[in-house]
Structure 1
Amino acid sequence: MTVAGPDPGLDPVVRESTPALIARTLRRAISDGIFAPGTQLGEAGLARSLGVSRGPLREAMQRLTQEGLLVSHRNRGLFVSDLSAEAVEDMYLLRTTVETAALGRVLDLGLGPVTADALDAAVDAMAALADEPRSEAMVGADLDFHHVLVEAARSPRLSRVHETVLVETSMCLHAMRGTYSDAASRLAEHRAIADAVRAGDADRSRTLLVEHMRDGLDRVRERGGAR
């Protein structure tokens, strides 16, 4: 009888801890606007709703506090972080930094064509929602495009940081109920970035991405999404 030994070609199965699963659930609820900025999160109520004990819930909430998604107010409790004008500007600064770094890595690795295919698929998903440019589904499809770009860089650290900043971006866009009155300009901006990535044009890709981020921040300011 042959007994299989350790196979270096197999990755170990990673099982998420209960606090990690709770953190993911809360992160998604914040991202989707279920818990709006400034909302107080009561520990007892959350534990009942999620069907978990307070120990792992506290650990999960601590993780989100470290990520900046929750903030503790002395003698008052934990609240979803608010969206001040300074916080939104800082959020877009971080997004721009992370996404341009990911873009550079994608092109350095010669992954432009395959990444562009994935980006085009994300734009196609947005195009299918063209009749509802301010919907939650469109917000999600928009952010999926940027998620695809950063994941294509194959950098766990960039991905980890980007996950948090995308939650903050989603909070902002949900609070504002979108920043585009029509889908045409939104689709054009994203498609142009994908085209530049496919062409392997690093300078144009970066310029388009930075302009897209600047435009997003301007739209937030104009619509009063930051307080």
Structure 2
Amino acid sequence: MPLTEIEPVNRESTAAIIARQLREAIMNGSLPPGSQLGETELAGRFQVSRGPLREAMQRLVSEGLLRSERHRGLFVIELEAEDIRDIYAARLAVEGAAVIRILQGPRDEAVAGLEEAVGDMAAATQGEDWSAVSEADIRFHEVLVAASGSKRLERMSRTLLIETRMCLSALRLTYASDEERVTEHKNITEAISEGDQEKALSLLEAHMEDAVRRLAPGTSLLSR
């Protein structure tokens, strides 16, 4: 079929809808680490046949959110210390590249988006709305990568941020004050606003390193 005859698909597929809902359940803890996904139960809940359900679950396997055990089924991944180190090391590479690209061109729009996310994080912290704090935290890093203008960096970042969401509840409990979390993001934003690449990258690395050490004591980005 000639490419000119291909028409855009406007409606999200059943498998995509199921995958999105399962992904959200993993991210918000409704499906905690180690949970087994039963096909019969889930097919009943979604009121769908097993075909689209299996397709959806395989998408999450390819994203690294589910693991398959032979003769046992599919389980939500459990993040070990090495997984956490790997996630944040990969994020540092992607987000560091994004910072460099932002600073190579106009950065006003990027800074405005980052400042908005920091403002939302501060407001949510004041209101003790921990879910909103986490959402603003994730949005800050989404804005940072999106502002680079690189679709490949965005694509690589997407799964890493999904896995990061699984860490955020545990991460919050390690802060003596959530103001620390807000300050870290504010300082990165200010360095980008000032056009100080060395400072921005240094602060970003310290931010990722701090998260690793809080989530997996005794581990660091540089450990092997």
The answer, yes or no, to whether TM exceeds 0.5 is yes
| Counterpart Cα distance in 1 of 2:143 and 2:115 | 10
Pair 1:43 & 2:39 matched: yes
Question: Could you tell me which residue of structure 1 aligns to residue 182 of structure 2?
Answer: 187
- What's the offset of the Cα at 1:213? 0.6
Contact 1:95 1:162 in 2 (8 A): yes
- Matched residue, 2:216: 221
The worse-fitting range, judged by mean Cα deviation, of 31-40 and 171-180 is 171-180
Q: 1:146 aligns to what? A: 141
Q: 2:70 pairs with 70, 74, 81, which one?
A: 74
Aligned 1:1-227 pairs, distance under 5 A: 14-108=10-104, 110-131=105-126, 135-175=130-170, 178-222=173-217
Distance 1:55 1:111, change over 3 A: farther
Q: Deviation at 1:179?
A: 3.0
Q: Alpha-carbon deviation of 1:127?
A: 0.7
Deviation readout 1:179-212 (Å, 9 max, x if unpaired): 3231221111111111111122211111111111
CA RMSD of aligned residues (A): 2.2
Deviations 1:103-151 (A, max 9, x none): 112222x142210110000000011122466822222221111111111
Q: Could you give the per-residue CA deviations for residues 43-70 of structure 1, whole angstroms, max 9, x where no partner exists? A: 1211222232211111111111011110
- Stretch moving more, 149-158 or 187-196: 149-158
Matched residue type, 1:213? M
Deviation at 1:73, TM superposition (A): 0.7
With normalisation by structure 1, the TM-score equals 0.86
Which residue number corresponds to residue 222 of structure 2?
none
Q: Which moved more, 1:171-180 or 1:34-43?
A: 171-180
**Higher relative contact order (CA closer than 8 Å, sequence separation 6+):** 1
String of CA shifts for 1:71-94, please: whole Å, max 9, x gaps: 001111000011111111111111
Q: 1:177 to 1:193 in 2, by over 3 A?
A: closer
**TM superposition shift of 1:223:** 11
Equivalent residues of 2:170, 2:215 under 8 A apart = no
Offset at residue 15 of structure 1 (A):
4.0
TM-score (norm 2): 0.87
Q: Gaps (5+ residues) in structure 2? A: 220-224
Deviation at 1:155, TM superposition (A): 2.1
Q: Distance in 1 between matches of 2:93 and 2:61?
A: 22
- Partner SS, residue 216 of structure 2: helix
Stretch of structure 1 that moved more, 167-176 or 203-212: 167-176
* Compared CA separation, residues 223 and 175, structure 1 to 2 (3 A): farther
Aligned counterpart, 1:3: none
